[in-house]
Amino acid sequence: MQTIKKLLSGVVFIALIAPSVSAGAEDVFETSGWIPYWRAQAGVDSTTPHLDTLSEINPFVYSVKQNGDLFVSDTLTEARWQELRIAADNQGIRFIPTVMWANPDAMHTVFSDPELRRNHVRSIVSEVFRQNLDGIDIDYEAKYAKTRPYFSLFLQDLYNAMGYNKWIMCTIEARTPLEARYSSPESIPYDIEYANNFEEINKYCNRVRIMAYDQGRIDLQLNKTKDHPYIPVADIDWVRKVMELTAEEIDKDKLVIGVPTYGYEYDMFLDGDGDIRYSRLWSFNPGYAKETQNALGLTQTRNSAGELFLTYPAHQSLDPAIPLPNATRVMSWSDAEAIRQKAELAKELGLRGIAVFKFDGGEDQGVWNVLREHVGSATKVADKAVDVGVNDDIVTVVPPNLTRDWEMGDIGEEVRALQRYLNAIGFSVSSSGPGSVGNETNVFGPATRAAVISFQKAKNISPSVGYVGPLTRGALGSR
């Protein structure tokens, strides 16, 4: 028997036997990242040549006014954002801006008032549709525990108002296991309340990006087991704890590890009791560490957290501000290798992927090779191809390259490719006649809609109504 492999990209192939493949295709490993408005041009310039390494890009451009109205920090009509968006669209990359809010009093006021909450939802949804965005990223930090039920209501309202063809991404603070935060089980407060309801977030967010950074000294267990200096941005061991805990309540295929590209500098000193303490000074990009290393003749090493670090006497600091001249200066930062470790952890745990904070031109440029290595083998069309037996041959059916949304009544050659792929992966459009294997058509009719609904239910895409929007296109493997 001779095996023939053909890529079907628009030519109708007459299949004489039904496909014998499982209904589920391998999930895509996603990579995304934020570009901050305060370094927008540098971020766009750094990101644009490497868009092929990303599944999604997040312009960090919105915040919120006291009354809940959106505040635009950098308008998306600026040429830099427009050019980035066109390039992203051409490569099938989601363009989903971020709304960042960190005013706990204002958030509680807005979310707990039904009318203010509706107005806030309306301001977001109107911006998404006015700008024709792929969705929105909600990054609301430092909420009160008392705000938890109202924030959940906000997410529910936003989910219901946004529509099934838009994405809702939720960027959430990391939650350290309690046994790692307290010295003994007896010292854990009995009345701890969290500001985020993970169960509700799981319902209403298409992706949940956990900000698994800014660890510092929060994990008492790791503080004891790892030698000083130990003041990491994100120890790989801590990130594992955080993500395993979160995965108990949030679906793994939604979970994304947030990874940093920056570091912090500290003064390390002895307090009056002879204990080692740390005083955080400032954040920095890797370039500052390299400048310090070269100026002082230092050698960077990789610490027990998996990050790069430098130590030197504080009085040698390049910065004239020396809070504690007799202290030891400690620099710990995330480089490409530290990011690679997080990506490997995400794969090991079966998570959706990683999200990088931030791309602003100051990141370790090796990060792009890391992203290319991980997204390159996971999101290419060929990697979601399906081998289908046809008589004595094996035919490879690739995912449809859907360049737009599709619904019942539409006509186009992309519908034929959609039908062919649904048939190949076990979501039969029809057992015989039009739409069946080898007889796929360019008409999106009731049978196609029913097959799409079956696919959506299998992939937990809600609502499962047979509309092929960005969520479904992504699940199918379109880029």
Structural domains for the chain: 7-24+381-476 (1.10.101.10), 30-261+335-376 (3.20.20.80), 263-333 (3.10.50.10)
Q: What is the pLDDT of residue 392?
A: 52
Between 91 and 222, the more confident residue is 222
Indicate the range of 247-261, 266-280, 415-429 predicted with least confidence. Answer: 415-429
Q: Residue 108: pLDDT above 60?
A: yes
d(CA 349, CA 345): 6
pLDDT at 17: 28
pLDDT of residue 393: 55
Per-residue pLDDT tens over the stretch 15-26: 322 222 222 334
> Quick one: pLDDT band at residue 4, thresholds 50, 70, 90?
very low
User: How crowded is residue 439: how many other Cβ atoms within 10 Å of its Cβ?
Assistant: 16
d(Cα 272, Cα 280) in Å, to the nearest integer?
18
Q: What is the mean pLDDT of the chain?
A: 88
Average pLDDT over residues 87-106: 94
Instruction: Label the pairing between strands 255-260 and 263-270.
Output: unpaired
pLDDT class for 404, splitting at 50, 70, 90? confident
- List, for residues 146-204, the tens digit of each pLDDT value: 999 999 999 999 999 987 778 999 999 999 999 999 999 999 999 999 999 999 999 99
Q: With b meaning 16 or more CB within 10 Å and e meaning fewer, what string describes 31-53?
A: bbbbbbbebbebbbebbeebeeb
- pLDDT higher than 90, residue 293: yes
Residue 260, φ and ψ in degrees, nearest 5: -90, 160
Measured between alpha carbons, how far apart are the two ends of the chain, in Å?
35
Q: Computed from CA positions of residues 215, 330, 346, 180, in that sequence, does the dihedral angle turn out positive or negative?
A: negative
C-alpha 43/C-alpha 32 separation (Å) is: 13
Query: Which amino acid, 263?
Result: G
DSSP states of 55-78: SEEEEEEEEE-TTS-EEESS-TTS
Distances from the Cα of 237 to the Cα of 221, 262, 276, 304, angstroms: 11, 18, 22, 9
- What are the DSSP calls for 309-370, one per residue? EEEEEGGG-SSS--S-TTSEEEEEE--HHHHHHHHHHHHHHT--EEEEE--SS-S-TTHHHH
Q: Check pLDDT > 80 for residue 419.
A: yes
pLDDT computed for residue 377 by the predictor: 39
Q: What tokens appear for 221 in the block?
A: 């267990």
Predicted structure pTM score: 0.78
**75-87 confidence digits (pLDDT tens):** 999 999 999 999 9
User: How many angstroms separate the CA atoms of 409 and 407, rounded?
Assistant: 6
For residue 27, pLDDT over 60 is answered with no
Question: DSSP string spanning 286-317?
Answer: HHHHHHHHHHHT---EE-TTSSEEEEEEGGG-
Q: Are 221 and 228 in contact, with CB atoms under 8 Å apart? A: no
Collapsed DSSP state (helix, strand, coil) of residue 401? coil
Asked if the bond preceding 463 is cis, omega within 30° of 0, the reply is yes
Mean pLDDT for the stretch of residues 48-68: 96
pLDDT tens per residue across span 110-120: 999 999 999 99
Q: How far apart are CA 340 and CA 11, in angstroms?
A: 40
CA 429, chain centre distance (Å): 32
DSSP 406: B
**pLDDT category, 461, cuts 50, 70, 90?**
confident
